[in-house]
């Protein structure tokens, strides 16, 4: 069973994703969050193997990255902070695959540079998400 976390700021999108994923018997949605502040905490508790995460999740700007980074580079950009969070998620014991969703095609390179495994542009999301889920769906052995 593939353990999935949905991280999106809009309740209707989380609901639609959950309903869509329920069509796959090998998938279990183990947690949902609506803010970046919940992301690391809840991911460490539910240990998902796949994280579907919005690039526009609120609260990323509230994360404080201190120490060496501030001394050498000044304050990090929002994309750098997102990269630190994605890197931390990859280090969870469940070693999740991180798929980021977004509204802008221009976000593809910042998302991949930040360390995400793939980017789903919301304009193409249904078809690409279906292909992704079909790729992880085990073959029917009837």
CA dihedral of 14, 20, 24, 26, whole degrees rounded to 10 = -10
Bridge partners, 113 (sequence order): none
The first and second tokens of residue 66, run together, are 């201190």
Q: Percentage of residues in the chain with pLDDT exceeding 70? A: 84
Q: Tell me how far CA of residue 56 lies from CA of 9, 32, 79, 100, 138, in angstroms.
A: 8, 15, 11, 9, 31
**Which of 49-63, 91-105, 126-140 has the weakest average pLDDT?**
126-140
Question: Kindly report the CA angle at 40 between 9 and 16, in degrees rounded to 5?
Answer: 30
27 pLDDT exceeds 50? yes
Q: Which residues pair with 101 in a beta bridge?
A: 54, 120
- Give me the pLDDT at residue 62, please: 67
Residues 8-27 have a mean pLDDT of: 92
Beta strands in 14-65 (DSSP E): 27-33, 50-54
The answer as to CATH 3.40.50.2300 being correct for domain 2-136 is: yes
Distance separating alpha carbons of residues 52 and 34, to the nearest angstrom? 12
User: What number is the average pLDDT over the span 112-140?
Assistant: 79
> In the chain, where are the structural domains located?
2-136
């Amino acid at each position: 069973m593939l353990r999935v976390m949905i991280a999106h700021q809009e309740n209707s999108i989380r609901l639609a994703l959950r309903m869509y994923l329920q069509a796959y018997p090998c998938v279990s949605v183990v947690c949902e969050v609506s803010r970046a502040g919940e992301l690391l905490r809840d991911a460490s508790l539910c240990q998902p193997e796949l994280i579907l995460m919005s690039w526009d999740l609120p609260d990323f700007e509230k994360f404080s990255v201190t120490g060496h980074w501030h001394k050498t580079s000044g304050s990090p950009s929002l994309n750098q902070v997102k990269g630190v969070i994605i890197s931390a998620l990859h280090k969870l014991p469940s070693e999740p695959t991180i798929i980021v969703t977004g509204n802008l095609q221009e976000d593809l390179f910042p998302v991949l540079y930040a360390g995400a495994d793939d980017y789903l542009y919301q304009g193409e999301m249904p078809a690409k998400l279906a292909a992704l889920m079909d790729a992880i769906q085990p073959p029917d052995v009837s």
